[in-house]
Structures are given as structure tokens and as C-alpha cells.
């Protein structure tokens, strides 16, 4: 899930910034400013401490003006959109939070454009409703359009990188705004040059779509089975979207306030890539622990990609671990999501993540890395 990634601003200068004057300047920039808000409500995990200022920017101009001001003043800045790929520490953020609330989507026959704050699934739904294909396999992913290239989000055999046309960036070093081609973004598995970087902010994304209304070729086995089609077949985009949403709901991966399995940051760990030189050692460790068993694996650059969820479960962490009564557990629907059962803190989530990570490392010698951005602490 990205689902949406936060961008952390530059560290504060030695001088102390003034909350009142900063709030006034942000209002002048066109932002709606609130004071002393708890940040848990801005993330899908629903954890995180307070911030002295939260400034909501509903236009791109307000967003640009606000960020330029904060950067010039060296005021610590945290940029949030959907908050679905973000874990904020219990101490909160001792600076300004900018909430990106831009939302315009513009349709074309072959390319559509979305402002960074547009809700991603709304973007997908808009294209499908307009008879455009290509984005349907990315249905149900929470977060914002602007976060999708940062994380190079993907699901059911499609990554944003495969449909991305270009992005418009604010260069936070120079203040320049320019369109950047996909080839410049260093897109990889759940990563890009934009991830974990404060140098640029996504303002708009352009995505390639198909005017014939057909889905991208269906290649993900679970989806081909659900749709009863062969690998590489295409179906109407709306049909594929419905199937994807059904599969995601069954895994607690479509946001639902009444379902604590969706109080998560989506897949908490990326699927690990084991270097070629270590594959035989890891496979031997799996055999020692589990016997002669089929291990789901996929070719990857420089190694073999393993399923993080499979490793977690085989290391002894089943669905719902550690059980009823815990404030933070693995999802009861699949093992790759860490969930808030209603009263968890960021510390509770971090503790569970470390337990799972260390358990997988101890069992199989494989290191798991968190997918969400963490603010104020490390896993």
C-alpha cells in the first residue's frame, strides 16, 4: 500500500522559528492553518504524536509558495498526502506539517494528469468510468497520486513505472519547477530517486492510458484465476477493477474504518532480494527449518526475490500474531500487514515490526526492510 509517502524537509537551522509568524506566513501563502493537532488522524495506521502547525494546501500554487517559504526559512517540514505509507513516531513532529490536498484530475485519450494530492483510487476509478484502460490493476491502493512514482507502487502485475508518462517536480534546492521524464526517476522495485529524499516534491503526475477501455494484459496468477482468463489476456477495465478490489478486500487491503485489519500501512516489508552469492545458504536454512519444501521465488536483478509474507509465516508469525488482546498485530487476513487494533502507539507497531524482522533473520538469514517511511524513529 503507498501507498502515500511523506517527504521530510530540511533540518532546522540553529535559530528558533516562531510558530505565530510562521502560521501567518502560511495563511498568506494560501494554506488553511490549524494549530497543535495530533497526527494520528493523518495516517492509515492511526498512530503518531502532535505537531504545532498543520497547513493544508488545496492548490498547487499554495503548496509551492508554502514549501518555498519553509525551505528558505530552514523550518522543519513534513509533507503528507494520504498517509498510507507513513509511520509517525509518538513524539510527533516538531515543525510544520504540510498536508497536500490538491485534487484535480484531467483526462485525455492517451495520457491523463493528476495533481499530487488526488486520492489514487479516485484517479483509477475516474479513468475506468471514462472508458480508459491501463490503471485498473492498481485499484484500491490507498494514498495519493503524487506518492505513486516515489514508491513506484505496484499490484497484481502492474507497477506505476510501467504506465508513468512524466512527473512535475518542485526542486527544493533551486525552487525551480519542471517536468521530468520517467527515465530520470531511477524507478525500481518499490523505490525511486525520490524516495527518502528531500530534494524534490511531486506536484503532478501524467499517466499513460488506453482509449480502448481494455485492461493491461493480465499476468498475475491470482488475478487470471479470478477472472478465468489466460496469462496475457485482456478484459474490460471495469471487470478487472472489480476483481482487484474483491481480492484486496479479502486481504484487508481496502480502507474500511470498521475493519481494524485496514488500520495499517499496507505491506509493511518489501519482498527481499537475496543476492546470487547468498541464495544457496538461504535455501539451505529454509530446508533445515522446514524440510524439502517449495519456496516461492522470482528472478531479480543480481539475485532472487522471495516472498516476505511467506517467510514471515514460516518463521512462526501467523495471521493475527501475537493474538487477541494485543494492541498491534499482524493482519488476521494476511501476514504482511502490521495493524493497529484500535489503541496501538507507534512504539507498539515498531516493537512488533522488530520482532518479526528479527525472527525471519534468525530463522532463515534473510533481512526484511520496512516499506513505509518512518518519521521520528527507526525500525
Residues of the chain with CATH 3.30.43.10: 7-100
Q: Rounded to an integer, what distance in angstroms lies between the CA atom of residue 210 and that of residue 228?
A: 22
Name the grid cell of 99: 498536508
Question: What's the CATH architecture for 260-375?
Answer: Alpha-Beta Complex (3.90)
Annotation: CATH topology of 105-250:
3.30.465
Helices 237-250, 120-129: axis angle to 10 degrees equals 150
For 176-197, what is the mean pLDDT? 93
Q: Residue 113: pLDDT above 90?
A: yes
Q: Rounded to an integer, what distance in angstroms lies between the CA atom of residue 370 and that of residue 374?
A: 9
Q: Are 311 and 272 in contact (CB under 8 A)?
A: yes
Residue 13 confidence (pLDDT)? 40
Residues of the chain with CATH 3.90.78.10: 260-375
DSSP labels for 243-282?
A: HHHHHHHHTT-S--TT-GGGSEEEE-BPPPEEEHHHHHHH
* Residue 132 phi, psi dihedral angles, 5° rounding: -110, 140
Q: How confident is the model at residue 297 (pLDDT cuts 50, 70, 90)?
A: very high
Distances (CA, A) of 322 to 73, 307, 318, 335, 348: 46, 21, 8, 11, 12
Residue 341 confidence (pLDDT)? 98
Q: Residue 170: pLDDT above 70?
A: yes
For 310-327, what is the mean pLDDT? 97
Distances (CA, A) of 155 to 162, 208, 266: 12, 17, 12
Residue 80 confidence (pLDDT)? 96
Annotated active-site positions, please? 190, 267, 371
Residues of the chain with CATH 3.30.465.10: 105-250
Q: How confident is the model at residue 131 (pLDDT cuts 50, 70, 90)?
A: very high
Give the other-Cβ count within 10 Å of 16's Cβ. 7
Q: Residue 212: pLDDT above 60?
A: yes
CATH, range 7-100: 3.30.43.10
Amino acid at each position: 500500500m503507498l501507498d502515500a509517502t511523506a517527504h521530510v524537509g530540511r533540518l532546522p537551522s540553529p535559530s528558533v522559528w516562531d510558530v505565530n509568524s510562521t502560521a501567518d506566513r502560511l495563511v498568506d501563502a494560501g494554506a488553511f492553518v490549524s494549530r497543535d493537532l495530533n497526527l494520528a488522524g493523518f495516517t492509515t495506521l492511526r498512530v503518531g504524536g502532535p505537531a504545532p502547525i498543520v497547513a493544508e494546501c488545496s492548490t498547487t500554487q499554495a503548496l509551492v509558495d508554502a514549501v518555498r517559504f519553509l525551505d528558505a526559512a530552514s523550518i522543519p517540514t513534513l509533507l503528507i498526502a494520504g498517509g498510507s505509507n507513513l509511520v509517525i513516531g509518538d513524539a510527533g513532529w516538531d515543525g510544520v506539517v504540510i498536508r497536500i490536498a490538491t485534487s484535480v484530475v484531467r483526462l485525455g485519450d492517451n495520457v491523463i494528469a493528476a495533481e499530487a494530492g488526488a486520492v489514487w483510487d479516485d484517479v483509477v476509478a475516474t479513468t475506468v468510468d471514462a472508458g480508459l484502460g491501463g490503471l485498473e490493476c492498481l485499484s484500491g491502493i490507498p494514498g495519493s497520486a503524487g506518492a505513486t512514482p516515489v514508491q513506484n507502487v505496484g499490484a497484481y502485475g502492474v507497477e506505476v513505472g510501467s504506465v508513468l508518462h512524466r512527473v512535475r517536480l518542485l526542486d527544493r534546492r533551486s525552487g525551480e519547477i519542471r517536468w521530468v521524464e520517467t527515465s530520470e526517476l531511477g524507478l525500481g522495485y518499490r523505490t525511486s530517486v525520490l524516495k527518502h529524499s528531500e530534494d524534490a516534491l511531486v506536484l503532478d503526475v501524467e499517466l499513460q492510458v488506453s482509449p480502448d477501455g481494455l485492461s493491461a494484459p493480465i499476468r498475475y496468477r491470482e488475478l487470471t484465476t479470478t477472472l478465468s482468463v489466460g496469462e496475457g489476456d485482456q478484459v474490460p477495465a471495469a471487470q478487472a477493477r472489480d476483481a482487484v478490489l474483491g481480492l484486496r478486500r479479502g486481504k484487508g487491503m481496502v480502507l474500511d474504518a470498521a475493519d481494524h485489519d485496514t488500520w495499517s500501512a499496507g505491506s509493511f516489508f518489501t519482498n527481499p532480494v537475496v543476492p546470487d552469492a547468498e541464495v544457496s545458504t538461504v535455501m539451505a536454512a529454509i530446508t533445515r527449518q522446514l524440510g524439502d519444501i517449495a519456496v516461492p521465488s522470482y528472478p531479480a536483478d543480481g539475485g532472487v526475490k522471495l516472498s516476505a509474507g511467506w517467510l514471515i509465516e514460516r518463521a512462526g508469525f501467523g495471521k493475527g500474531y501475537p493474538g487477541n488482546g494485543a494492541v498491534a498485530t499482524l493482519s488476521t487476513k494476511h501476514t504482511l500487514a502490521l495493524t493497529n487494533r484500535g489503541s496501538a502507539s507507534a512504539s507498539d507497531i515498531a516493537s512488533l515490526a522488530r520482532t518479526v524482522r528479527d525472527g525471519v533473520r534468525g530463522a532463515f538469514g534473510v533481512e526484511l526492510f520496512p516499506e513505509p517511511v518512518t518519521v521520528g524513529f527507526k525500525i
